[in-house]
Chain A
Amino acid sequence: MVERDIRLFFQYKFLIIIRAIWFISQIVLFGLIASRMISTDAVQDYFRYYVAGLSVMTLYSAAIFIGFDIYEEAEHGVFEYLLSLPVSRRQLVLGRSIGGGLRAFIYVGPLIGISLYVLGSVNPLSFLVSLFALFLFSFGVSGMSITIAVIIKSSDRFDILMGVLDALIVRLSTVMYPLAVVQTANPLYGGVASFNPITYAADLFRWGTGIEAIITLDNPLMPLLGIIAFFAFFTFVGVTIYDRRIEGGGWQ
């Protein structure tokens, strides 16, 4: 399953190229320009801050993509085929969740490489820990996408919901601005951002790439635990819901 999902993703060459162009444009256009007007006590170098957050944001959108695959499969009847394969349902769902996460990670790999080039030198150990966290984050997002896709059962609604989710959970995170700034804008926003897996992923990546000085990360263990919990929850829930919803023709 893992291999299939990875292979399938990389057949969408147009999408991959466009997303890569988008990523680079965000760095060389938005990042460079916007960083010139942002200089606060919380963030002295917004450009580096933004590049790190952009990598996490791109990983999130790539991992979400598995949900769209599910609709495409339902439309082409591939669901029935997958369900008829001589593998257990658990293997099937875990395979999909891991496949969805892994392919997003592979896709974002070169983009993270670009980020590292922009961000400069890193502490190898911290970087490996943050990479591991991003790995789990990617699986968790993939599991979340699968879970939502099989619950909603409509690609249009899924598309809209993902847009809303993106607006809410990405914006209410530290991907684009530090927690202190979010907190100042509205304590409620700050509360949500503090319990957001995207915040954890972004903070850990910044910690891993050595720019933790400009974030409010007291202890990297907390976001790491948050990401592990996010991954475990959506992998387990994803398996259970996928199994219940699709068994018996529930995807139709």
Chain B
Amino acid sequence: MPSIIRIVNLTKKFGNLVAVDHLNLEIEEGEIFGLLGPNGAGKTTAILMLSTVIRPTEGTAFVGEYNIQKNPDKARGLFGIAFQEPKMLWVSTPWDIVNWHAKVCGLSTEERKRRVREVMQALDMWDYRRKNVHALSGGMRKRVEIAKVLIQRPKIAIVDEPTAQIDVVGKHKIWKMLREFRNEGSTIILATNELYEADMLSDRVGIMHKGKLLVCDTPKQLKDSIIGGDIVEIQLENDSPLVVEELKKFKEVVNVLQVKSSNLRVYLNRAEEVVPKIMNMLMKKDVSISSIRITEPSLDDVFVHYTGLTIEEAQKTGA
């Protein structure tokens, strides 16, 4: 897929604080790109620069054919944003907010009415459409925010922590709608600090930390990039001292730990490819197995691998 966004040395400084530090990144058309990082990593600032809400201190980005510094109005026209914090005046009602948003985005009256109704119903907001925003729960306000983008259907949608404060059923609905939206050809930038969400939704993930992009790849590649990241726990029926040496012969195996005499923990790469080979080897050696369990690394492990901190620790230190 060709790139729809090309970010070149994008930097934002607030006084001495470098919120985004020479960010270089390409986002492909039609993908869900997960921008992952703790609060304060620079995700929101990067998004605000990209969507021309704030000006970069240095660098630029090309959105479609438009340079955000030279043609901000044209570039902005390609975006739709669901902000992290719902942006609305509390005297407004959800219907007012989404309907006006649809109008500003140029939807015809008929199309607007249809989409507003469809999306509000899909997000279980229809019954609350005439209530003042201040009377709504945090989750419901968040739904109003995401509804704006789903109604607008922009070429590039930016969703900043789209399911924060939303219940599990609501999360799954929103994920489903975002996937459908991507499948219709839109590009989605998903900024989140929820690793599971990024893993579930993203075609590719970029991890940001302290304003810098540390790594960027598909979730699978990122997990595979952790050497010995997969763990296979094998419970043998009997002791078999030779098995450890045999396992170490596989080039993907990084380490083998004998937890108990018949209980082995194997640290390896690409477990899904190697486990069948291990099974064959054990069968040939006539070694009986009572159980086998594969644990893949999560994006949490990837984050720890690249930053030396868990995302919670990074959040606490404000990094």
Contacts and interface: CB of A to CB of B under 8 A. Distances in A.
| Most chain A CB within a 10 A radius of its CB, from B90, B91, B92 | B91
A84 B92 contact: no
B186 interface: no
A64 to B, nearest CB: 18
B100 A3 contact: yes
Contacts of B80: 86
A78 interface: yes
| Most chain B CB within a 10 A radius of its CB, from A11, A73, A84, A249 | A84
23 contacts: A4-B100, A11-B91, A72-B89, A73-B89, A76-B90, A77-B83, A77-B85, A78-B87, A78-B89, A81-B87, A81-B88, A83-B53, A84-B76, A85-B104, A85-B105, A86-B76, A86-B77, A86-B80, A88-B73, A89-B73, A247-B54, A248-B55, A249-B48
Given A7-B96, A11-B92, A73-B89, A84 B55 contact: no
B79 interface: yes
Interface residues of A, number: 24
A1 B55 CA distance: 23
Interface string B52-68: 11110000000000000
A76 B103 contact: no
A85 B149 CA distance: 11
Chain B interface residue count: which class? Answer: 20 to 34
Interface string B142-178: 0000000000001000000000000000000000000
A8 interface: yes
A117 interface: no
Interface string A209-228: 00000000000000000000
B282 to A, nearest CB: 58
Given A77-B83, A78-B88, A3 B76 contact: no
B99 to A, nearest CB: 10
Contacts of B105: 85-86
A74 to B, nearest CB: 11
Interface in B258-301: none
Interface in A42-95: 72-73, 76-78, 80-81, 83-89
B245 to A, nearest CB: 61
Contacts of A80: 48, 53, 83, 87
Contacts of A1: 104
A86 B55 contact: no
A12 B79 contact: no
Given A3-B100, A84-B81, A248 B89 contact: no
B79 A84 contact: yes
Given A85-B101, A86-B78, 14 more contacts: A3-B103, A7-B100, A73-B89, A76-B90, A77-B85, A80-B53, A81-B81, A81-B83, A81-B88, A84-B53, A84-B81, A87-B104, A88-B73, A249-B55
Interface of A: 1, 3-4, 7-8, 11-12, 72-73, 76-78, 80-81, 83-89, 247-249
Nearest to B48: A80
Contacts of A73: 89
Nearest to A72: B89
B51 interface: yes
Given A80-B87, A86-B77, A89-B73, A8 B104 contact: no
Interface string B84-127: 01011111100010001101111000000000000000000000
Nearest to B56: A248
Contact of A249 (B54, B83, B91): B54
Contact of A76 (B54, B89, B101): B89
Interface string B178-207: 000000000000000000000000000000
A145 B103 CA distance: 26
Contacts of B79: 84, 86
B53 to A, nearest CB: 5
A-B pairs, top 9 by smallest CB distance, nearest first, are A81-B87, A248-B55, A249-B54, A86-B77, A11-B91, A88-B73, A83-B53, A77-B87, A84-B81
Contacts of A78: 87-89
Given A84-B81, A248-B54, A76 B87 contact: yes
A83 B76 CA distance: 9
Contact of B55 (A4, A12, A85, A247): A247
A110 to B, nearest CB: 21
A78 B105 CA distance: 16
Nearest to A249: B54
Contacts of A7: 96, 100
B152 to A, nearest CB: 8
Nearest to A13: B91
Nearest to A80: B53
A207 to B, nearest CB: 38
Nearest to A82: B87
Contacts of B54: 247-249
Given A80-B83, A89-B73, A8 B53 contact: no
